[in-house]
Structures are given as structure tokens and as C-alpha cells.
Amino acid sequence: MPATSYDIIVVGSGSAGLAAAISAAEHGACTLIIEKNAMLGGTTAWSVGSITTSASPHQRAIDIYDTPDDHYADMALFHGERLKGRDNLKLRRLLVDHTPATFDWLLSLGLVFYGPMPEPPHSQPRMHNILPNSQMLIHHLTKRARKLGVEIRTSAPMEKLVVETNRVTGIVVTGEHLTAEKAVILAAGDFSANPALKQRYMPPEVARIGPFNEDSTGDWYAPVTELGGRVLNGDVALGPEIRFRPPTKSTLVRKLPPWLWLARVVRWSIDNMPPRLLRPFVMGFLTTALMPSLDLYRYGALLINRNGERFSDETDAPSDHMPAQPDGEAFVVMDGELASTFRAWPNFISTAPGIAYAYLDDYRRNRPDIFFKADTLAGLANKTGMDAAKLEKSVADYNSKDAKGDRHPCATPPFIALGPVCSFIMTTDGGLAVNEHLQVLGDNDFPIAGLYAAGSTGQGGLLLEGHGHHLGWGFTSGRLAGRHAASAGNNDSDLFDY
């Protein structure tokens, strides 16, 4: 019979949940992870796997002197007018101060990263990408958790929190009551797949856009708000973003065994083989739903729906209009002259797992399912299934009206279409209010005894703009939550009854 009583119960098995469980077990706690899916990993398993940190061994190896203080300052440069003044500065500090140790910890598990890669406005190259893909994170963290004795139950959704004398003492999972002697750690992802919560917190044009991960249903919301918890920055999201659909066929990388030596071979090859030979291989890793760079639209790429119509200004939140298009889809269309500028840094088509940036030729070679090229617009329409006359008219209208200033006309053959693309909310950034120990805050900002949150669930008003900060927060907040929860006792001064 499986046990029904644990020190710590962790809800969710993505970056935050796995890190929290490992950390709790490393601090001596008898720990259970429950995951509502049959598979572990959540959104983390779909991520590109970039982690942005200062003070990494990778930076030191190429004489980059980088500090958490500089990272802290640079994060604000991503915010723009809309988000100015809305960050949780205490959690930003926690993130930048602790991510270097988190990154070292991931390396200590044998995981292999490539980097650091630049990402302006970061003042230093800080992005480190897992090799060969994010499945490695899930596989090796799960292995570590099992080795430490963490029990893992899948197809086990949390239904309720159990509260006794103002303290969270357990959860109910498919009707079964499980006791958590020390704490429950909520690491159950975001609420991008919860239409009611999106309508409640987000502008209507964003709320109607679908999630990337249908399982991100924010199940934690009702039980925690009943206890006085609240969501901060509920209107903020990673997205809506226009992304290519992920490949439909199982790609080479999904079939690769998660062997660490293989990751080391990939890393060695990147460092030592001529890029000309290596690139086609590494680019076989274009496996997830990648986002075409916004520079494409700024410089003149068009978004054209399946009817051949241009439906919005590509530089002004076009993702909001995507759900109204046939099949909710469109193609990114450009001419040969513009396309030729997206063949080398700094003009990339998208970030990419492993080697960080993918260019037009990478897509031509490795994603033939979404790459179309023709000498005429009518030929392009034929290949993509658009209406040729409408496409020609849409492009002619654009060339006569909008192709001014920095935007390039769409006039020089060959013509290229990439897609289809559609709009996704990748993750919502509204998370439960937490303190620096990741305790969930209830009425009057007193911690709810016995309850912690990490990752997207415990994002606490922290802004994670740019690449690599969400996973940085997921792993870092998970580790800290696990440690604090495991170290807390009933008489621990960190715990207040509310």
C-alpha cells in the first residue's frame, strides 16, 4: 500500500515541482510529488530549455565577468512602459542572486548547456541552452528525485487542500486524503488554459487566445483564494505570441535517448566541428513551437491568412487578430531581398533549442513542412493553399501604402512563406503572492501556514521578460521552497497562523 502521510507534498512535476521535491528530500523530508498527467514535465518539457544566469562557468571560461547585480539591473530594461514599476523587486533579487547556484546544481547533475548567448538588452551574454533538448531536464531531475526516495504519483490531480486549525495539512487526490506533516508546495503551473481566470484578469482580446499547454488550468486558484491568497500581475503573460506549430511528426530529437554522454558529444561537436558540417545536425532539433522574431515584421514581413488576406498591422499586436482568421492561422510572407537578410546574426528567424538562434536556411533544411518558396506570388499561393488573386492584391496594397520608412516592400522574387503560425498564450505570469521563503501570503500578507508556491504558481508579481527567466525562476523558486518547507517545523518562526 502506498503511504498516505508525508512531510512534504509537491503538486506538479515541471521545473518548480521537481526542483522543490529534490531540495526537500535533500533536506531530509519524506516527499511525494503528485502530477495530474500520465507524463511528468508540464510546460517545462515543451520549453526550449534556455536558462539565463550571471556568474556561470560558461561565462568565466570565456572571460566574461558578470554579476547578479548587473543581471538585476538589466532585467528592468525589458519592461517597457506598460510594465514599468510593476515588478516584485524582492523576488527579482531572489532570482538573480540564486540562479547561479541553481545553474551549478543542474550542471552537477551532469546536464549539458551551450552558451552563453547574447540577448540584448542584457549587457552580457547570459542565455544558456540545454542540450539537446528540455526532455533532458525532466528525465534527469526525475532520476535524481527517485534516487533520493521521492515518491512520484502520476495521473493524480490535486482536488482540494485540507485545512485544519488554520493550517494546510494535506491535499485530496482523486478522493484520497494525503497528509503533509510539514507543508504542501504548489508547483502546478499557470492558468493559461483556464478561460474563466483569463477573462477575470486579462484584457478581453488576450483572454480569448488559446493556451500552448491545455493542462495549465490553474487548479490552485480556487482552494488558495478561499484561504485568503491572491494573484499578482494577473493580466501579464508570456504572449500572446505568434508561433509556428510544433512538428506533427515525431522528430529525431524526441526519439533520442536522454543519455548524458550524447549531450556531451553534441556539446563537443558544437565547440569543435566546423559550423557548416554541424549546423544541419543541430538544427534537426527544431522540435518545439518556435516564435518568429518580431524583427521580421518590423522589417517588412507580412501576415497573410489562408484566404490570402492581410488582416492587421504586423507591428501592432497582430496576435490579437489571429483567432478571427480561418483556422486561427496565417503565414509569414516576405520577398527574396528581405529573406536574404535573415541568414545571419543579428537577424534570426527564431531562437532554437541547443544552439540558440535559427536562420532562414535552418528552416528551409529542417522544417520543410513550414517552408514555402516560389518565383511568383501566385506560385506561393498555390503551394500554401491561399487564394492567388487575393494574395496579389494584399501585397500590392501593402507595397503602395505601408512599405515606407523601415518596412521593406514585398516585391523581389523569390517569395517565401513560413507557417502556418498561430497565436498562443505561452504561460500566464500572474502568480500567487508569496514572500521570499515562497510561503503563500494570505490575509494582511501573513503566510498561510503549511503552504508554499513556486514556479508559475508562485510567481508573486515577478516579471520574467526576455528568454530564460521563467525556467530560472521555476528551478530556483522550487529549490528554495523545498528547502524552506523542509526546514520549517510547527514551531518554526517562519510560520504564522493567520
Ligand X SMILES: Cc1cc2nc3c(=O)[nH]c(=O)nc-3n(C[C@H](O)[C@H](O)[C@H](O)COP(=O)(O)OP(=O)(O)OC[C@H]3O[C@@H](n4cnc5c(N)ncnc54)[C@H](O)[C@@H]3O)c2cc1C
Q: How many CA atoms lie within 13 A of 434 on its CB side?
A: 31
Minimum separation from the CB atom of position 323 to ligand X (A):
18
Residue with cell 539565463: 52
Whichever of 219 and 335 has its CB closer to ligand X, that residue is 219
AA letter at 242: I
Long-range interactions of 266-271: CB distance < 8 A, separation 24+: 266/112, 266/131, 266/132, 266/354, 267/112, 267/114, 267/131, 270/114, 270/131, 270/354, 270/355
Q: Are 161 and 221 in contact (CB under 8 A)?
A: no
Minimum separation from the CB atom of position 457 to ligand X (A):
6
Minimum separation from the CB atom of position 132 to ligand X (A):
13
Stretch that binds ligand X, among 43-51, 90-98, 140-148, 319-327 (CB under 6 A): 43-51
Stretch that binds ligand X, among 48-56, 85-93, 104-112, 397-405 (CB under 6 A): 48-56
Whichever of 304 and 426 has its CB closer to ligand X, that residue is 426
Binders in 275-304 for ligand X, by CB under 6 A: 288-289
Binding-residue pattern over the window 173 to 212 for ligand X, x denoting contact by CB under 6 A: --------------xxx----------------------x
Work out whether 136 is an interface residue with ligand X (CB under 6 A).
Answer: no
Phi, psi of 70 (to 5 degrees): -65, -40
Minimum separation from the CB atom of position 161 to ligand X (A):
11
Q: Is 148 exposed, middle or buried (0-12, 13-18, 19+ CB in 10 A)?
A: middle
Work out whether 430 is an interface residue with ligand X (CB under 6 A).
Answer: no
| 211 upstream amide cis, omega within 30 of 0 | no
Whichever of 11 and 168 has its CB closer to ligand X, that residue is 11
Size of interface with ligand X, in residues (CB under 6 A): 41
Binders in 209-228 for ligand X, by CB under 6 A: 212, 215-216, 219
Binding-residue pattern over the window 451 to 490 for ligand X, x denoting contact by CB under 6 A: ----xx----------xxxxx--x----------------
Element holding 409 (H helix, E strand)? none
Work out whether 37 is an interface residue with ligand X (CB under 6 A).
Answer: yes
Work out whether 14 is an interface residue with ligand X (CB under 6 A).
Answer: yes
Minimum separation from the CB atom of position 418 to ligand X (A):
17
> Which residue's Cβ lies closest to ligand X?
14
Binding-residue pattern over the window 146 to 175 for ligand X, x denoting contact by CB under 6 A: -----------xx-----------------
Angle between helices 377-384 and 388-401 (to 10 degrees): 130
Stretch that binds ligand X, among 41-49, 72-80, 90-98, 109-117 (CB under 6 A): 41-49
Long-range interactions of 358-363: CB distance < 8 A, separation 24+: 358/283, 358/286, 358/290, 360/416, 362/279, 362/283, 362/286, 363/286, 363/418
Q: Dig out the grid coordinates for 131 from the structure.
A: 542540450
Tell how strand 31-34 and strand 151-153 pair up: parallel
Binders in 71-130 for ligand X, by CB under 6 A: none
> How many other CB atoms sit within 10 Å of the CB of residue 65?
10
Minimum separation from the CB atom of position 41 to ligand X (A):
6
Q: Dig out the grid coordinates for 463 from the structure.
A: 516579471
Residue in 8, 9, 12, 150 binding ligand X, rule: CB under 6 A = 12
Beta bridge partners of 431: 232
Q: Are 359 and 418 in contact (CB under 8 A)?
A: no
Binding site for ligand X (CB under 6 A): 11-17, 34-37, 41-44, 46-50, 157-158, 187-189, 212, 215-216, 219, 288-289, 426-427, 455-456, 467-471, 474
